[in-house]
């Protein structure tokens, strides 16, 4: 990520594409991570409910996102910074959560589908044609073997 002090970045179409995330969202779905059996990874599903607010950081180069979720009744609070690194030509997301974890993802976009990827987690977010709904699926790799479902949910724009 750029840390040089040369000419300032120029906002362009890559930054503008991030605008699809801006707004208030409500999500409902299922979480599979707690007590997950790799042989039946969806067997211990717990309800997922969350509210998310994503806003432009001043200058409109980055997004600031806060998600307040309950999974199986337990709180999960995540703050993320999402942006486009012009030097590398790639999107990124950096997230921290109330359980003490820091996550760093590379992001890609193809049409209405955004993907996030790290060595232990990955996600697929598909926006509806009108941009009012997101179909979200997360997977994780708790060990060095197969990817397992982590959560599946639908986010609906509420503001």
- List the domain boundaries for the chain: 17-157
119: three-class secondary structure by DSSP: coil
What's residue 3's pLDDT? 61
Q: For 95-154, how does the pLDDT look when each residue is reduced to its tens digit (9 = 90+)?
A: 999 999 999 999 999 999 999 999 999 999 999 999 999 999 999 998 777 899 999 999
Residue 18 · residue 127 · CB < 8 Å? no
Q: What is the mean pLDDT of residues 85-89?
A: 91
Fold of 17-157: Lipocalin (2.40.128)
Residue 18 · residue 63 · CB < 8 Å? yes
């Amino acid at each position: 990520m750029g840390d040089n002090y040369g000419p300032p970045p120029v906002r362009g179409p890559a930054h503008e594409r991030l605008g699809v995330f801006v707004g208030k969202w409500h999500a409902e779905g299922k979480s599979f991570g707690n007590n997950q059996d790799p042989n039946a990874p969806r067997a211990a599903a717990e309800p997922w409910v969350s509210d998310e607010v994503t806003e432009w950081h001043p200058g409109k180069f980055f997004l600031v996102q806060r998600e307040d979720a309950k999974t199986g009744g337990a709180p999960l609070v995540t703050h993320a910074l999402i942006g486009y690194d012009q030097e590398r030509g790639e999107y990124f997301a950096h997230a921290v959560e109330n359980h003490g974890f820091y996550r760093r993802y590379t992001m890609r976009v193809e049409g209405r589908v955004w993907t996030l990827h790290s060595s232990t987690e990955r996600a697929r977010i598909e926006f509806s044609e009108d941009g009012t709904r997101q179909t979200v699926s997360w997977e994780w790799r708790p060990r060095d073997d197969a990817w397992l479902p982590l959560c599946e949910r639908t986010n609906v724009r509420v503001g």
